[in-house]
Amino acid sequence: MVKYRITLFEGDGIGPEITKEMKRIFDSLGLDIEYDEFLIGERAYKKYGELIPKDAIESIKKNKVALKAPVTTPVGEGFRSVNVELRLLFDLYVNLRPISTISNKVSKYKDVDLIIFRENTEDLYTGIEEETHDGYYAKKIITKEKSKRIINFAFDYMVKHNRHKITCVHKANILKKTDGLFLSIFNDIKNNYKMIESNDKIIDNMCMQLVLNPNDFDSIVAPNLYGDILSDLAAGLVGGLGLAPSANLGDEIAIFEAVHGSAPDIEGKGIANPTAFFLSGALMLEYLSESEKALRLKNAIKEVLEEGKVLTKDLGGFASTTAFTDEVISKL
């Protein structure tokens, strides 16, 4: 019997190119792993008329762990984002985004080490937009229960991982009820974690502070939309979207994926940076208690980036996705 069976989605755009390389990495790490592979997203829609076929859903339910390359949601009326749909289907309420400087060579800022806890199931992502006499309005939903569980998760995670300071990000000065609720729940819960320093910042100020002094921050908890925007901003601090991994976590099910999208503009060119996906794989290994293998992978990536000889185009190099992977494998 194999040790791990996971659900794997090779996705759209650059997805298949980086998935192929991820499998080579897992093989080189000597992982005893098997994949249940399914199409979701645009290619699934073209082939089966469904963005997320039922078999894929059943497989996630059974395996409880999935690794997902980026997918494309077709543009147009009636298509709900595949990513949002998966998060809601499995109630994956935490979007965990660790953003750290892997190598000072490719990062604009030295020694950044941030974790962003983004609420993953409500806020403006409910996608409810309605017509008014002169346009539309969008519904932003913030509830007590969902705010409590993400904020509690963030504090518990920090205790477990020995982190010291958390910043709650909001716009409660304008959105007094919705963001006001999120902030007041944060202020209640922080009293249970006196060993952790806590503060809060308004989203616009937070963007400026992060760009000016990213090293002043440790962990960030935020409602869905601010968490989304801040994580792309933070990815930019450490070298761009090609380096940012994420985990979508529920109480029983976890889906790991890169922060970036399917990058259709570079599809098939063999130049995609697979690092964010590899780091998402490392996050998955940590989740599966394969911390030693996760660390080997992260160290190998760090060594390649430090040497700076074999880099993909987004990091200023000329290496293909495969050549970069070969180099990582040589350091494992």
Q: What is the binding site for ligand ATP (CB under 6 A)? A: 241-242, 260-263, 265-266, 272-273, 276, 314
Q: How far apart are CA 198 and CA 210, in angstroms?
A: 16
For ligand ATP, the closer CB: 223 or 239: 239
- Rounded to the nearest whole angstrom, what is the least distance from the CB of residue 272 to ligand ATP in the complex? 4
- Rounded to the nearest whole angstrom, what is the least distance from the CB of residue 262 to ligand ATP in the complex? 5
Q: Would you call 204 a catalytic residue per the annotation?
A: yes
- Rounded to the nearest whole angstrom, what is the least distance from the CB of residue 97 to ligand ATP in the complex? 14
Q: Would you call 48 a catalytic residue per the annotation?
A: no
- Rounded to the nearest whole angstrom, what is the least distance from the CB of residue 45 to ligand ATP in the complex? 15
- Rounded to the nearest whole angstrom, what is the least distance from the CB of residue 260 to ligand ATP in the complex? 3
Choose, from 123, 179, 200, 228, the residue flagged as catalytic.
Answer: 228
- Rounded to the nearest whole angstrom, what is the least distance from the CB of residue 232 to ligand ATP in the complex? 9
Query: Quick one: tokens of 107?
Result: 């990062």
Query: Quick one: tokens of 277?
Result: 């996906």
Which three-class secondary structure string do you get for the chain?
A: CCCEEEEEECCCCCHHHHHHHHHHHHHHCCCCEEEEEECCCHHHHHHHCCCCCHHHHHHHHHHCEEEECCCCCCCCCCCCCHHHHHHHHCCCCEEEEEEECCCCCCCCCCCCEEEEEEECCCEHHHCCEEEECCEEEECCECCHHHHHHHHHHHHHHHHHCCCCEEEEEECCCCCCCHHHHHHHHHHHHHHHCCCCEEEEEEHHHHHHHHHHCHHHCCEEEECHHHHHHHHHHHHHHCCCHHHCEEEEECCCCEEEEECCCCCHHHCCCCCCCCHHHHHHHHHHHHHCCCHHHHHHHHHHHHHHHHHCCCCCHHHCCCCCHHHHHHHHHHHC
CA dist list (Å): 210 to 149, 167, 189? 25, 11, 24
For ligand ATP, the closer CB: 14 or 114: 14
Query: Quick one: tokens of 141?
Result: 């939903």
For ligand ATP, the closer CB: 151 or 266: 266
Choose, from 68, 140, 146, 171, the residue flagged as catalytic.
Answer: 171
- Closest-CA residue to 184 (of 217, 144, 155, 141): 144
Q: Would you call 125 a catalytic residue per the annotation?
A: yes
Q: Would you call 171 a catalytic residue per the annotation?
A: yes
For ligand ATP, the closer CB: 68 or 260: 260
Taking CB positions, which residue lies at the least distance from ligand ATP? 261
Point out the residues that are catalytic. Answer: 125, 171, 204, 228
